[in-house]
């Protein structure tokens, strides 16, 4: 099963089917599907869809490629199937995901981390500029 899953991880953009994956795992198609689901908690088809969507999420965040281009680059055959599957897994459309991620990335992570870091000195005590050292008391 691990060999088949690794093949799916490596070649997610290629057209993969259950017979080919079963051959990689050296089992029958029915046994492959049943065992894959029991082992990994989802069907091979759903695993491959999720893997493709994960890669699409990365490309939507990190590139300016069009949604259509990303759709075909990660192995989907149509934009309709891609959008429906993406929404099922992520909870929003690819375009909405890209907009949300762009808005979230306006503030650099280092500032977000410093702003939300707990002081460690207790409630009601101010701290020096993000250093964790006590500042002037009131």
Q: Looking at residue 47, which CATH number applies to its domain?
A: 1.10.10.60
In a domain, 88, yes or no: yes
In a domain, 137, yes or no: no
Structural domain including 11 reads 2-104
In a domain, 32, yes or no: yes
Dihedral, CA of residue 92, residue 45, residue 75 and residue 50, to nearest 10 = 40
Per-residue pLDDT tens for 90-104?
A: 999 999 999 988 877
For residue 135 the two structure tokens come to 């500042």
Q: How many domains does the chain have?
A: 1
Indicate whether this model's pTM tops 0.85: no
In a domain, 125, yes or no: no
Per-residue pLDDT tens for 74-93?
A: 999 999 999 999 999 999 99
In a domain, 74, yes or no: yes
For residue 127, what is the DSSP state? B
pLDDT band at 138 (very low <50, low <70, confident <90, very high): very low
In a domain, 21, yes or no: yes
For residue 36 the two structure tokens come to 């894959």
In a domain, 132, yes or no: no
In a domain, 47, yes or no: yes
Q: Give the whole-angstrom CA distance, residue 44 versus residue 8.
A: 9
């Amino acid at each position: 099963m691990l060999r088949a899953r690794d093949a799916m991880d490596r070649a997610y953009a290629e057209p993969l089917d259950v017979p080919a994956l079963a051959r990689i795992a050296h089992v029958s198609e029915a046994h492959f599907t049943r065992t894959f689901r029991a082992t990994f908690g989802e069907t091979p088809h759903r695993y491959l869809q999720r893997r493709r969507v994960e890669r699409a999420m990365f490309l939507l965040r990190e590139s300016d490629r069009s949604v259509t281009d990303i759709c075909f680059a990660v192995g989907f055959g149509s934009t309709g199937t891609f959008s429906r599957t993406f929404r099922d897994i992520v909870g929003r459309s690819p375009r909405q995901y890209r907009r949300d991620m762009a808005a979230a990335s306006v503030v650099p992570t280092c500032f977000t981390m410093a702003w939300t870091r707990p002081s460690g000195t207790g409630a009601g005590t101010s701290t020096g500029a993000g250093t964790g050292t006590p500042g002037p008391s009131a």
